[in-house]
Structure 1
Amino acid sequence: MTKRHITNLACGTALCGALLGAAPASAAHHVHLVHPGESIQKAVDAARPGDTVLVLPGTYRESVKVTKSGLTLRGMGPGTVLQPAKKAKATKKSAAAQKSCAEMGNGICVVGTKSKPVENVTVARMTVTGFSRTGVMAVGTANLNVHGVAAVKNGQWGIAEERAVHSTYRDNVARNNGDAGLFLANSVTAEKGATDTAGTVVEHNLLEGNRIGVTVRRLRNLTVADNSVTGNCAGVFVVGDENKPKAGKITVTGNQVVKNNKYCPKTARLAFLQGSGIVLTGTENTLVSRNLVTGNSGKSPLSGGVVIFKSFVGATSDKNSVTDNSLSGNAPADLVNQEATKHGNAFKGNTCKKSKPAGLC
């Protein structure tokens, strides 16, 4: 135990009470306090399941890897800043899967295995910025909780996960990241059918200035709710492909999707993006309801307010419901359905002026 090791959550000090809440003395959970100039990773390595690593305001130039269940990594708000080290230290093993979190270009990595996920980890109340790949990356997790994190100006994703179940992403800011502000997928690399997230929730986040605000790729049983999505090239992407099962049983509700009109050039996977509000492609049984979708305007094949897009790889979108949304000022139209009527996509109760084809409003 170090001199900066607070030995009990029920210590009775104002710091413990205000930031961490009450806990019974019998829990014997500890708070590891990290000051500027000290190593967050050393505190994480010293912590045991149930402990909290509390990082004081300051700039910390390192990457942090969490592989223990039940750990909380918490800053003191936006003033706790994690940035890349000036030069990532090389490891002896060179295979990509064996590289360190820093070598992979990530800020915070929460990592389990296929057979043993890391469970009940919380990452909260800090800024993660300037990493070449991802601000916060989770692989092989269960019951992950990320809240109050600002993921800013990272090269690829602000916050991302793969092979994860029952995650919660709440009250985060993902701004000016190279690809998606929030990216959730069954697998980052493998082409395979969608997996069940067991109820992952993405809610009350601000997603601004990214290529895509939030991408949900090859997943099922997930909710995207009450987020503010603005100034991206595209707002919300729900993406499947030709594999089975399809992406689906996803709810997109209560979001404000406004003026996502930034221009992003085409990639190997997609045409150029501009002016896309909410896009469904290769999905089934997805509900898009009670969203405010305004001012998304562009000439991309995916432009429009709510767009059911005919996939480039030939995957159809089937039996999706677009209901009770408020849409205005989107171009080429507020509602766009590129699928044939036989696929059973329904548009009901929406407030809008223009649709393609006509008659969906």
Structure 2
Amino acid sequence: MIRNAIPEGAFAMTSRIRSVALTATAVALGSLALGGVAHAVDYPAPKNPLVASKKPKGPFRTLTVCSKGCGYKTIQRAVNAAKAGDTIRIRPGVYRERVVVKGTKKRYLKIIGDPRKPTRVLLTGIRSKPLTVPSNGIVINGADEVVVNGIAVQDYGSNGVFAVNVNGYKITNVVAKRCGVYGIYAFNSVGGSIMTSTAAWNSDSGIYVGQTPPQVKPKRTIIRNVTSYGNVLGYSGTNSRYVTITKGRWFNNGLGIVPNALDSEKYAPPEDNVISDNDVFFNNWNYYAGAPFQVRAAATGVPYPIGIGILLFGGRRTIVEGNRVYGNYLVGVGMIPQILLNQKDAVDLIGNQIRANVYGNAGNNRNGRDI
């Protein structure tokens, strides 16, 4: 086990941690393959999500969406007509629209497609337009505990499914592909879950949780049983906290999993996250040599390198435990102080632990360096 047990505010490191940090830093700065970093795009102004909305009492209705013969032809019209706690059932088809679920009057709404085969219900942007045009597939803004289940989203200029300013959300059985920034995105929110979903070929990260407000009694965000591949970053968590990432598959990204600290969002650095029981492998994709999206410039000027499985870029009290990490050609697991951060009291690595991970796939697919 490697324990980064540095007292609060201290800068000194043990010699072992210093070696890891310096090695990873040299890798990051010396890599010729440049990668993108997390940055929020096209989102509503942050509001306080710490106070949860009351659960609605009902009675509740079910509204059905389809191209012909249903009550509603578009998802947005059904959302507009729905009240808190209602269910929207979407029949198979292609829906070319942007859906906005906004405000407490839409709390606890359930938007359900085909949980068994999400690609039968496809929400799509306009592929002919450049993905630099800001747009989101589904935005949940200030509506607590909304469920999105069994839907595929693709070809939006910004994000596939985006939850912001909410206290709780459930995103499950979602397929998010070829979006201009993030596939599945939660920002300035409390709790919530992303489960049994796939994110691929998104031009920043497949899954992103950012700017989690500090909480006296934390509600954890659960990311479980997801698959993320073909993205610049499989998972990015800028200034995220209380996130548990478990039982996922993270492969063929530029970099697999990277909780990170940036000045572009509040509440640096990331804290109290857990990365456990994941398969993190072959994150060596040089998207600069060819990618189905426009590669974005790095926000910090020091982009993440290609070929790392898990990287802690700043952070406190993160546990990396029981993962299977192999075939990442630079480093399996690394950590670096965020030396570029303006918020100097958030630069240091404090209290992080790397323990009980399995490296190299029994020698068949070794990392360039395990730790």
Give 1:290's match in structure 2, choosing from 315, 318, 322: 322
Q: 1:167 to 1:212 in 2, by over 3 A?
A: same
**Inter-partner Cα distance in structure 2 for 1:272 and 1:286:** 19
1:190-238 CA-to-partner distances (Å, cap 9, x unmatched) read xxxx635621111100101111111111022111111110110010001
Q: Determine whether 1:61 maps to 2:82.
A: no
SS in structure 1 at match of 2:79? helix
Match for residue 73 of structure 1?
111
Q: 1:184 to 1:289 in 2, by over 3 A?
A: same
1:142-201 CA-to-partner distances (Å, cap 9, x unmatched) read 1100000000111111011111111100001001111100011017xxxxxx63562111
TM-score (normalizing by structure 1): 0.73
**Inter-partner Cα distance in structure 1 for 2:81 and 2:237:** 35
Match for residue 51 of structure 1?
86
Shift in Å at residue 240 of structure 1? 2.1
Q: 1:82 to 1:245 in 2, by over 3 A?
A: closer
Shift in Å at residue 311 of structure 1? 2.5
Q: Determine whether 1:106 maps to 2:136.
A: yes
Q: For the Cα contact (< 8 Å) 1:36–1:57, is it kept in 2?
A: no
**Inter-partner Cα distance in structure 2 for 1:245 and 1:157:** 20
Q: For the Cα contact (< 8 Å) 1:61–1:86, is it kept in 2?
A: no
Shift in Å at residue 312 of structure 1? 4.3
Q: For the Cα contact (< 8 Å) 1:195–1:218, is it kept in 2?
A: no
Q: 1:160 to 1:244 in 2, by over 3 A?
A: closer
Q: How does 1:332-343 map to 2 (within 5 A)?
A: 332-335=368-371
RMSD (CA atoms): 2.3
**Structure 1: gaps of 5 or more residues:** 1-25, 89-102, 113-117, 188-193, 298-302, 336-361
Shift in Å at residue 331 of structure 1? 4.2
Q: Determine whether 1:134 maps to 2:159.
A: yes
Identical amino acids, percent of aligned pairs: 25
SS in structure 2 at match of 1:158? strand
Shift in Å at residue 86 of structure 1? 7.8
Q: Determine whether 1:34 maps to 2:65.
A: yes
Q: 1:134 to 1:287 in 2, by over 3 A?
A: same
TM-score (normalizing by structure 2): 0.71
Q: Which has the higher contact order (CA 8 A, sep 6+)?
A: 2
**Inter-partner Cα distance in structure 1 for 2:178 and 2:308:** 21
Q: Determine whether 1:254 maps to 2:289.
A: no
Q: 1:307 to 1:330 in 2, by over 3 A?
A: farther
1:122-148 CA-to-partner distances (Å, cap 9, x unmatched) read 011010001011001111111100000
Q: For the Cα contact (< 8 Å) 1:206–1:228, is it kept in 2?
A: yes
SS in structure 2 at match of 1:293? strand
Q: For the Cα contact (< 8 Å) 2:261–2:268, is it kept in 1?
A: no
Q: Determine whether 1:195 maps to 2:214.
A: yes
SS in structure 1 at match of 2:273? strand
Q: How does 1:1-361 map to 2 (within 5 A)?
A: 27-36=58-67, 38-67=73-102, 68-76=106-114, 77-84=118-125, 104-112=134-142, 118-186=143-211, 195-196=214-215, 198-241=219-262, 246-264=269-287, 267-269=298-300, 270-271=302-303, 273-297=305-329, 303-313=330-340, 315-328=347-360, 329-335=365-371
**Inter-partner Cα distance in structure 2 for 1:325 and 1:80:** 38
Structure (1 or 2) with the larger CA radius of gyration:
1
Number of aligned pairs? 281
**Structure 2: gaps of 5 or more residues:** 1-56, 289-296, 342-346
Counterpart of 1:74 in structure 2: which amino acid? I
**Inter-partner Cα distance in structure 2 for 1:164 and 1:27:** 25
Counterpart of 1:78 in structure 2: which amino acid? T
